Structure formats: structure tokens, C-alpha cells
Amino acid sequence: MPNLLESNQLGGRKLQRVVYTEEVIHNRIQEMGVEISAAYGPDDRLLLVGLLKGSFLFVADLVRAIDLPLQVDFLVAASYGARKKSSGDVRLLYDPEASLKDRAVILVEDIVDSGATLNRLVPLLEARGPSSLEVCALLHKRLVTLDREPRWVGFDAPKDFLVGYGLDYAENFRHLPYIASL
């Protein structure tokens, strides 16, 4: 895909290599949908809470791959800004409107990197009384031990800074249908 890489550069930042193709991502999400569907029943009142902005494409594809009645909500937490490394300071900018009480909740994360966001959000969501709370991550870098490891992981990711398929660098590159190294 050299022409895709060459055509996607910004301010001196250019993509190095495609890490996961569109087809590979699609196939893995279909598999994750089957796994999640098998873990819950139609009476579990399933709620997927996507962590914006990075997870929006993943959530859209994942909910279509789950063969159960479900609801979707979102929350926004920020820890990166325009940097390539998390500041470690997690700010909650938007809270889910749906009640989590007595619901089977899956927190959907685009990438587990420093773990700061998950370690901050899981206790906050657990305090709202869900019947269960699991984490589903498209990518996991396995850099840290988390208080709550994701139950479902799409891919063990390289330590590279990744963009595409919702992942960004300073709000750029989210539109790419694949995941690439910056």
C-alpha cells in the first residue's frame, strides 16, 4: 500500500507502515461480535459504552457484529491532547446518559496504552451499579498491568504510535480505513 502511505501525511508526519489492513480489522471485529454474543443472553440488558473519540468506528462496526438486543452510549475522556504520549491526567469531558444500574455494561476502548484511562474509568462506572462490567479493546499494547484487563481484545498491538480507524494524532488520520504506524 505504498501509495496510501504516501498520500497520507500531515505537517511533516507521515505514515510508516500499515499495521492492520481494513480486511483484517473487519474479520477480527466479526469474531469479537460472535464472542460477545455468546457471553450474554437477550435478557442481560446489554449496554455498550464507547470511549470517544477514538472508538467511534470500532463501536459502529462492533454493534453490528453482535447478535443481541443492545443499547449504545458514549463517554469522553481526554489524556493525550496533541501529544504522542498520554499525560496521565485523565479528564472526563462527557458522561454517559444511559443508566448503568443492573445492566451488563461493556466499556469499548480503541487502544490500551498507558492504562490510565481504564484505571480511572472502571471504578467510576462500577460505582453506578451495573450487574456486570467488562472491557473490550480493539488494540492492547500490553505495556502495563491494569486493574481490570479487557475481556475481549482485537489485537495485541506494537509499541508504535498508531493512527487510523478512529485513532488520531492531534485529531488527524481518524478517517483511514486501516491502522498504520506514524
Q: Under DSSP, is residue 182 helix (H, G, I), strand (E, B) or coil?
A: coil
The question of whether 73 is a catalytic residue gets the answer no
Catalytic residue (choose from 61, 73, 95, 113): 113
**Residue 145 DSSP one-character state:** -
Please give the C-alpha separations between residue 25 and each of 47, 91, 169, in angstroms, as whole numbers: 22, 29, 20
Residues paired with 140 in a beta bridge: 112, 156
> What is the spatial distance between Cα 150 and Cα 112, in angstroms, rounded to a whole number?
9
Active site (catalytic) residues: 113
